[in-house]
Structure 1
Amino acid sequence: LYPHMTVYENMAFGLKLAKTDPSVADNKVREAARILQLDHLLDRLPKQLSGGQRQRVAIGRAITRDPKVFLFDEPLSNLDAALRVQMR
């Protein structure tokens, strides 16, 4: 995560680089934030988040880009049980 960017900006960064329409990018970021239970944290910086919340932001960055395949190095292990099941 980029420490000088908010959660929203971090999640939207890849979409901005891909020159995605801003309204489409906003919808994707807000939907990923809702799924990951981060919607109330979108204006915070990474240093203001717990480790699990930072991990969810990183997952959100991946989700917003709509990849065909996700390749994770055990990032789901630090999530709470209910969210871990939902993410799988």
Structure 2
Amino acid sequence: ANVNFLFRKIVHLTAFGFLAILFYNSFEKNRFLRAWIITTIYAATDELHQAFIPNRTGSFWDVGLDSLGALLALLALQFLQKYVVRRKKG
């Protein structure tokens, strides 16, 4: 059961990280903040929706985990853009 729990949480982090990157690429201004906020709002509405599904529960912890996944992915993206891509150009 612990492996399943850990796997599901890793999937939350990863999926919402990718979603945040997609949102990031959708904007030209305030990309980081907009992507993070929209991803977090989506996570909250997803958990709210789950609260109405039989045999499912909505979780504030999952919203936090999804938001963290988005934040970590966006930070990694900025790091890659700032240090890795520029280093190759320079």
Shorter-chain TM band: under 0.3
Q: Give TM-score, length-normalised by structure 2.
A: 0.27
Please say which structure displays the higher CA radius of gyration.
2
